Amino acid sequence: MKLYFANTSPYARKARMVILEKGLADQVETVFQNPFDESPDLKKANPLGKVPALVTDDGNTVFDSPIICAYLDSLSPETMLIPADEARWNVLTSEALADGILDAAFSIVMERRRPEEQQSSMWLERWQTGIQRTISAVDADLTPFVGDLTLAQIALGAALGYLDFRLPDIDWRASNPAISAWFADFTTRPAMKATDPANV
Ligand SMILES: N[C@@H](CCC(=O)N[C@@H](CS)C(=O)NCC(=O)O)C(=O)O
């Protein structure tokens, strides 16, 4: 299998963490692709031109990150990240919540790269407010993100790591002590350290 990824992509980081946490590293070749380099290989695998994209040994492509992570989870019974029982819906919804933080953060980063006069202050503010509101909600009830490792935890780790990496001006820690402590602990995981975008 081949995973197209970029070191700085938080979506790809989710997939890379799943590979490490599930002990699948020897089954997946990771291939760097900058999605903005218009690589024909990436576009052939995923016409959307986005990373991550996983090409299976059969030549099929699996994307986007929630599907890749679910697929990888199904390959090994070790450390199941998505429960098979009723709890799966809570885990997947909590993953979607963390991915929503990521989507808003990624949108802010892209918007800020446009010429200043073209940037939308309305959207920048809306995305930032959404991030703060969601982080406060998680801070008020961390239950879906504690206990045995799940895909929801991995997604939250990737989202908060991306905020620190690309948007350090967003001070999400100030009024959210519980999630700050959660993240401080979560970043000690070897898979978080191995995929830290600041170290590559
Ligand atoms: N929903 C997708 C988002 C993937 C995504 O937006 N990846 C970014 C890199 S962080 C990308 O490839 N962007 C290129 C583009 O938008 O053209 C996922 O979860 O995998």
Q: Looking at residues 106-123, what average pLDDT do you find? A: 98
**pLDDT, position 32:** 96
Q: How many CB atoms lie within 10 A of CB 128?
A: 17
Domain that holds residue 176: 87-195
For the Cβ of 9 lying below 6 angstroms from any atom of ligand 1, the answer is yes
Query: Interhelix angle for 121-140 vs 87-112, to 10°?
Result: 150
* Span 155-184, average pLDDT: 97
Q: What is the pLDDT of residue 52?
A: 98
Mean pLDDT of 83-105: 97
CB 151 within 8 A of CB 97: no
Same domain, 116 and 167: yes
Given a cut of 80, whether residue 174 has pLDDT beyond it is: yes
Residue 25 has pLDDT above 90, yes or no: yes
Q: Is the CB of 197 under 6 A from ligand 1?
A: no
Together in a domain, 9 and 98: no
Whether residue 121 sits in one domain with residue 63: no
Domain assignment present for 153: yes
**Are 180 and 109 contained in the same domain?**
yes
Residue that finishes a domain, picked among 17, 40, 75:
75
End-to-end CA gap in the chain:
23
Neighbour order of strands in the sheet with 2-5: 29-32, 2-5, 53-55, 61-62
Q: Are residues 70 and 93 in the same domain?
A: no
Q: Please tell me the predicted confidence (pLDDT) of residue 198.
A: 87
pLDDT for the residue 200: 65
Q: Is the dihedral of CA 89, 60, 51, 103 positive or negative?
A: negative
Kindly state the average pLDDT of the residues 127-134.
98
**Residue 139 sits in the same domain as residue 100:** yes
Mutate which of 5, 8, 11, 63 to test ligand 1's pocket (most atoms within 8 Å of Cβ)? 11
Structure tokens at 168: 């350090």
Q: pLDDT (tens digit, 9 = 90+) per residue, 32-52?
A: 999 999 899 999 999 999 999
Q: Which atom of ligand 1 is nearest to the CA of 49?
A: 17
For residue 113, give both structure tokens.
Answer: 């790269």
pLDDT above 90: residue 78 = no
Q: Tell whether 82 is covered by a domain.
A: no
Q: Are residues 71 and 157 in the same domain?
A: no
96 shares its domain with 179: yes
The stretch 129-154 carries a mean pLDDT of: 98
CA 90 and chain centroid, separation: 17
CB 169 within 8 Å of CB 112: no
